[in-house]
Chains A and B, each alone.
Chain A
Amino acid sequence: MASLPKRIIKETERLVTDPVPGITAEPHDDNLRYFKVTIEGPAGSPYENGLFHLELYLPDDYPMEAPKVRFLTKIYHPNIDRLGRICLDILKTNWSPALQIRTVLLSVQALLASPNPNDPLANDVAEDWIKNETGAKAKAKEWTSLYAKKE
């Protein structure tokens, strides 16, 4: 598709006029389907006080196909692997075209607040999380202060 679908234009506009607290998403100048994203670590989680950078890409078939989202900031989380890939149902089989950039990013934020080690992407982290939750959370906190510092 050569031109940008109306939906993407309107979503981008609405993200600017009505932003989500703790989340920013800005389209790239050269490619309006590519967004630079930041998410603040949810309060009460090991990621609190961290600022995580992500990239979000809207494929050609968006909204019939889910956006591609990836963490750029290193993070210790059972559903996020070393490459920043995220295991989240709505990004895969449970994607719905009624979801939006906004709702996707909110879900990612919620995943930080409640990790699910029984459906892991990073096997070693998940194992650690199940066997020694306190230790794993301490490590996640440590990584947050190491790699996700707010500037």
Chain B
Amino acid sequence: MGNVPTKLDQDGNPIEPVSRPGYPSGNTGSSSTGTSFSGQSTNDGKTRSKRATSLVSTFLNSGSRYRSGSMQDTTYHSPHKKRSTKEKEQMKEQHARNIIVKYDESVDGGFMAPFGSYSYDKLDYDATVVKSLIIQRRLAPFYTPLQDFDPTWSREELLKIVDGLPLHASFDENPEEFEDIPIGDLKKPNFDYLIDKSSSKKEYRNMHSKIFKARLYQKRIYWQERENESFLETKLEVREGKAQNNYLPSNDLKYDLYSNGSECPICFLYFPEPMNYSKCCQQPICTECFVQIKRAEPHFPHEEVDPTKPIQNDNEKDPNLLTTEPSNCPYCATAEFAVVYTPPKNRKVGIQGIPPATYKSVNEPSETNDKDETTTAKNPNNVVSSDAIRPDWENKLNKERIRLARRSANATAIHVSNQLIDPDYASTSNDTTISSSRKTTITTSRHGSNTASRGSRQRSRQSIQDLENEMIQEAIRLSLEDEQQQNKSLKNKSPKKK
């Protein structure tokens, strides 16, 4: 996907690579999660048990896991790495910048970012992928929609309406969600001073993430409004003859775009043709609706149950059964929704085309719009699947599986330890929890946790010291296994990824 022009590249990555020293360092050195440290494990028994202790403490303070774990994880790049809060925030901010509509970044009369028909927190598609698909003319650009269209409008009437279109839909400036959340000075990157110093770690994290969200929301409004203003000013200057601007569309372009459009069957808004068409049933869909369509959240398969039997609780199900299916076509429910886009032949303007201001109508408007279905169907390059614009779906599924496995393992472990451990040795119950939680995380079967409980019943007679050591060793072994399995599954899957 290397065809992104330089302007995008510059705008696209204003954030420099994360610098190590400035990192918030909660734990030092040995703070790694089970999945990450095996990469550097040694055979030295002492190192092992030392690391294992920190492993145990990592699990005990599972809250701080993310921040501490990331320090080491980021040193080598596995797709399963845990990211630090700061990195995640930078990625979110980067994404927010990527979905700003800019009038001087256009393709064939449309833009690189959505108009704003859907709420901001639903714009979780991969903006970089979508931008490059638009530039490659494999997906329709994000056109500014018309609320209505009347075929009896004259050219002048239509042009007047199109000229009045904003770059982006209006914002809800004070959404309920962010009421009462301080945002401080948006220009200053640090906002820790807004958080009550006496708050607990958990409260601090909660508040931090709320403030970050509220700030990002406002920043995005600010960034978009800056673009809106410069768009308006330029339009005004050009109209008054004070300036020339190559990025503003010519009247011919505006007319050709909007005189020949159709209504998207999902948002009911009117868009220029050509639109994207579903691969299976050739129904139109605008790009803004297309990027909304995604896999369902990970869930257990839905079965028809016998009402005479008791229902199995989701908590008791094997987390590995969690699944997501590629989204179906919204129109005909064919599996693995994908769209086909045939770019207009006579309208290559904007990025990798002629300046929008210099566009002149060609006399055969029918040709701009013909959909040559025979060639598109044969050319797999024109097909964009719904999964392609959210390549991280698999990661999300795995994360959810691990999260669920941990939760159910914890529940099992607490249950088991309550039954088995002598209340005098209360301190050990925590360790048991950890050890068997690792067990169930990996085996994730009932069988696995059963053997674990039988094992600990025998062990409960041994001295506590031995028990702890054993469990630590077991935790190491299992986390190594876990890591190996993840690597394996990665290797198996990576060739499929493009």
Q: How distant is the Cα of A101 from the Cα of B172 in the complex, in angstroms?
A: 26
Partner of A97, one of B172, B289, B333: B289
Digitize A1-36: 1 where CB-to-B-CB distance is under 8 Å, 0 elsewhere.
111011100110000000000000000000000000
Q: Which A residues from 80 to 128 make CB contacts under 8 A with B?
A: 93-94, 96-98, 117-120, 123, 126-127
Whether A93 contacts B307 in the complex (CB less than 8 A), given A7-B268, A10-B268, A63-B266, comes out as no
Partner of A127, one of B268, B269, B289, B308: B308
B265 within 8 A of A: yes
Q: Which B residues from 118 to 150 make CB contacts under 8 A with A?
A: 118-119, 122, 147
Chain B residues near A60 (CB-CB < 8 A): 119
Q: Which residue of B lies closest to A99 (CB)?
A: B330
Digitize A42-69: 1 where CB-to-B-CB distance is under 8 Å, 0 elsewhere.
0000000000000000001101100000
Q: Which residue of A lies closest to B116 (CB)?
A: A1
A96/B172 in contact, CB under 8 A: no
Chain A residues near B296 (CB-CB < 8 A): 93
B485 within 8 A of A: no
B328 within 8 A of A: yes
A5/B267 in contact, CB under 8 A: yes
Q: Which B residues from 240 to 268 make CB contacts under 8 A with A?
A: 265-268
Q: How distant is the Cα of A126 from the Cα of B308 in the complex, in angstroms?
A: 9
Chain A residues near B292 (CB-CB < 8 A): 64, 97
Q: Which B residues from 272 to 329 make CB contacts under 8 A with A?
A: 283, 289, 292-293, 296, 299, 302, 304-308, 328
A7/B333 in contact, CB under 8 A: no
Nearest CB in chain A: distance from B399 CB, A: 21
B119/A1 in contact, CB under 8 A: yes
Partner of A11, one of B119, B268, B283, B304: B268
Q: Which B residues from 356 to 415 make CB contacts under 8 A with A?
A: none
For the residues of A in contact with B, the DSSP-based class is loop
B307/A127 in contact, CB under 8 A: yes
A130 within 8 A of B: yes
Q: How distant is the Cα of A6 from the Cα of B328 in the complex, in angstroms?
A: 24
Q: How distant is the Cα of A119 from the Cα of B147 in the complex, in angstroms?
A: 41
Chain B residues near A118 (CB-CB < 8 A): 304-307
State how many residues of chain B have any CB contact under 8 Å with chain A. 28
Q: How distant is the Cα of A5 from the Cα of B117 in the complex, in angstroms?
A: 7
Chain A residues near B269 (CB-CB < 8 A): 6-7
B331 within 8 A of A: yes
Chain B residues near A63 (CB-CB < 8 A): 266-267
Q: Which residue of B lies closest to A94 (CB)?
A: B333
Q: What are 13 contact pairs spanning A and B, CB under 8 A? A: A1-B119, A2-B172, A6-B147, A6-B268, A10-B268, A60-B119, A64-B122, A64-B292, A96-B328, A97-B266, A97-B289, A118-B304, A126-B307
A6/B119 in contact, CB under 8 A: no
Q: How distant is the Cα of A5 from the Cα of B306 in the complex, in angstroms?
A: 41
Chain A residues near B331 (CB-CB < 8 A): 96, 98
Chain A residues near B330 (CB-CB < 8 A): 96-98
Nearest CB in chain A: distance from B421 CB, A: 39
Q: How distant is the Cα of A26 from the Cα of B266 in the complex, in angstroms?
A: 21
Q: Which B residues from 315 to 356 make CB contacts under 8 A with A?
A: 328, 330-331, 333
B293/A97 in contact, CB under 8 A: yes
B308/A1 in contact, CB under 8 A: no
A117/B122 in contact, CB under 8 A: no
Nearest CB in chain A: distance from B418 CB, A: 32
B307/A117 in contact, CB under 8 A: yes
Q: How distant is the Cα of A98 from the Cα of B289 in the complex, in angstroms?
A: 10
Chain A residues near B283 (CB-CB < 8 A): 98
Q: How distant is the Cα of A7 from the Cα of B292 in the complex, in angstroms?
A: 15
Digitize B230-243: 1 where CB-to-A-CB distance is under 8 Å, 0 elsewhere.
00000000000000
Partner of B333, one of A1, A64, A96: A96
